[in-house]
Amino acid sequence: MNELSQTTGIVAVAAAVVALLALVLALVLWRSVRRLRADQRAVLGDERRDLVAHAAELDRQFRALHEWVIDVATRIQRRTDRVETRLNQTLAHTAVVRYDAYNEMTGHQSVSIALLDAERRGIVLSSIHHRDQARLYIKQVEHGQGSIPLTPEEEEAVRAALAREVPDRAFEAGEQP
């Protein structure tokens, strides 16, 4: 009988140890599940849905956002192309040449001004000053050449204008002008 009670005591102590280990394991698992549910709520929100449905919704939203970004990028590119086309038609090359037209007045009162765009089109304005009068001439320039013959001073103004560096208006992303 003594042996039986000793065996019963050992079994009882062993059962208590196993029960205590099971309780500790249950507490650890309960805490882990609580953290997992909190993480799941952070990712999925408070709605009751599974991870696959949430991933499908995220994929749908991402595709919609991607299409929107492509649409916006396309519109921006079209506007940029229009702006660059218009910029090519603005003044890009300019020069002023002053001179004495009749060798009777000093002070370089006569002037030829070249006003050209990036495609070397534009005009040359020449103002010829004489003692009694001043005349203004305007000549068309195409591809860096006058549509009618240019005077040496007008040619010099066109050459000087074209010799100046044209700033590149297209910059890489993040690059400063």
| CA distance readout (Å), 42 to 37, 38, 45, 65 | 9, 6, 6, 22
The answer to whether position 176 is within a domain reads no
User: In this structure, what are the phi and psi dihedrals at residue 11, rounded to the nearest 5 degrees?
Assistant: -65, -40
25 and 39 belong to one structural domain: yes
Question: What's the structural domain count of the chain?
Answer: 3
User: In this structure, are 28 and 71 located in the same domain?
Assistant: no
91-101 pLDDT, tens digit per residue, is: 889 999 998 88
Residues 32 and 66 both lie in one domain: no
Q: Which residue has the tokens 């079994």?
A: 11
In a shared domain, residues 119 and 152:
yes
Look at residue 132 in the predicted model and tell me its pLDDT.
82
**pLDDT of 37-57, one tens digit each?**
888 777 777 777 777 887 888
- What is the crossing angle of helices 51-88 and 2-44, to 10°? 30
Residue 147 φ/ψ region, left for φ over 0, alpha for ψ in the -120 to 50 degree band, beta for the rest: alpha
Query: Does one domain contain both 101 and 125?
Result: yes
Tell me whether residue 74 is in a domain. Answer: yes
Task: Determine the pLDDT at residue 174.
Answer: 43
Q: What mean pLDDT value characterizes the chain? A: 85
Indicate whether 168 belongs to any domain: no
121 lies in some domain? yes
Residue-wise over 89-125: b if at least 16 C-beta within 10 A, else e? eeebbebebebebeeeeeeebbbbbbbbbbebbbebb
Domain residues for the domain of 83 are 58-88
Q: Do residue 44 and residue 79 come from a single domain?
A: no
Identify whether residues 19 and 70 lie together within a single domain.
no
Tell me the pLDDT band of 165, cut-offs 50, 70 and 90.
low
Say if residue 96 is in the same domain as residue 139.
yes
d(CA 169, CA 160): 21
pLDDT at residue 57, rounded to an integer: 86
Do residues 103 and 63 both lie within one domain? no
DSSP strand E in the chain: where? 91-99, 110-117, 122-129, 134-142, 145-146
Domain membership of residue 172 (yes or no) is: no
Pairing of strands 134-142, 145-146: antiparallel
Backbone angles phi, psi at 84, to 5 degrees: -65, -40
